[in-house]
Amino acid sequence: MNKEMILGHAKEIQYLTKACRNSRLAHGYFFYGPKDVGKLTVAKGCAAMLLCENQSKKIGGCGVCQACQRMKSETHPNLIVLSLASPFLPIAEDEMKRRSKISIEEVEAIRRRIALASKDWQIVIVEAAELLSPDAANSFLKTLEEPNEKTLFIFISSKPEYVMPTILSRLVPMRFSCPAAGELKRIPGATAELIQVSRGLPGVLISMTLDDAQKKHEQGIYRDAWRISQSTVSEALATAGNYQAAADREILLEHLFRLGESFMITGNASKSKNISKALRALETLETTNVNARLATDIIVMNLHA
């Protein structure tokens, strides 16, 4: 098992492959859907499809030619992956810690690089497109309005509501959903328990099967969510209060949301009431994640409907 393996997304892959074979790829796509569902893997697979020296014309390329090999090690000069973690311009270490947006300087440098590029395909992947500063997004917009024939942009986001609408209007949207449990079972080492703990996200599931510490971490959060669903409000608050990292708290809320849903489906009224109270209580904890707060509101409303 490796992180490049693609699970599910058959429809999206078929669509992109067909577009490539018929030379009908759009200049820009917007991949959106849950975090760790496989958007970046498919985006990189698209890049390999276009740059493969064996013209394999399939997502992921042939996997053996030099271009495909360089794609795997992310050293291909025609692939740019821009994210918070991988800035396009050199950045000082202490500045890196404070980095919360993708800057216009990076986007302008990318635009200069593309303009000077050879006749080969250039692929620009922007991870977490919601983190582009407004200036950076506007700068991309100029390129998207006058695209090069052989440049492909793929913008990725798990928070599409925060991506600038002007950018979205220039892109072909593609929604990525969680693969079915049957697909996830193909991952070596995937058990029903791990699939549940992974929230159905292939990226999380794969890292859990590869990394024991990651597995224990995710299992711990799931156990806490379960405990909260069984406990009083003050106990729930105490458990959630231990969560300092916003990312972990988001996972905890996601689990609670899912547990609440499953209790609703199975008609377990007392348990869903418990979760509803716990979620309300958790809401009072300061959280920067508006998504989680919205999700909380929705589930609480549903639980009381």
Q: How many angstroms separate the CA atoms of 254 and 266, rounded?
A: 18
CB of 26 to Zn ion, least distance (A): 23
CB of 70 to Zn ion, least distance (A): 10
CB of 44 to Zn ion, least distance (A): 13
Question: Residue 149, Cβ neighbours under 10 Å: how many?
Answer: 7
Query: Please, which residue, 68 or 201, has the CB nearer to Zn ion?
Result: 68
Backbone angles phi, psi at 54, to 5 degrees: -90, 10
Kind plus residue range of the DSSP H or E element containing 81: strand 79-82
Evaluate whether 43 touches 154 at the Cβ level (below 8 Å): yes
**Structure tokens belonging to residue 144:** 């998207």
Query: Please, which residue, 61 or 200, has the CB nearer to Zn ion?
Result: 61
Chain Cα centroid distance, residue 168: 17
Query: Please, which residue, 57 or 280, has the CB nearer to Zn ion?
Result: 57
CB of 65 to Zn ion, least distance (A): 3
Evaluate whether 56 touches 67 at the Cβ level (below 8 Å): no
Query: Please, which residue, 55 or 284, has the CB nearer to Zn ion?
Result: 55
Query: Please, which residue, 28 or 45, has the CB nearer to Zn ion?
Result: 45
Query: Please, which residue, 4 or 105, has the CB nearer to Zn ion?
Result: 4
Give the pairing of strands 172-175 and 151-157.
unpaired
Alpha helices (runs of H) in 146-245, residue ranges in sequence order: 165-168, 181-184, 192-197, 202-210, 212-230, 233-241
CB of 60 to Zn ion, least distance (A): 9
Q: How many angstroms separate the CA atoms of 51 and 74, rounded?
A: 13
CB of 71 to Zn ion, least distance (A): 8
Evaluate whether 201 touches 209 at the Cβ level (below 8 Å): no
Which residues lie near Zn ion (CB under 5 A)? Answer: 52, 54, 61-62, 65, 68
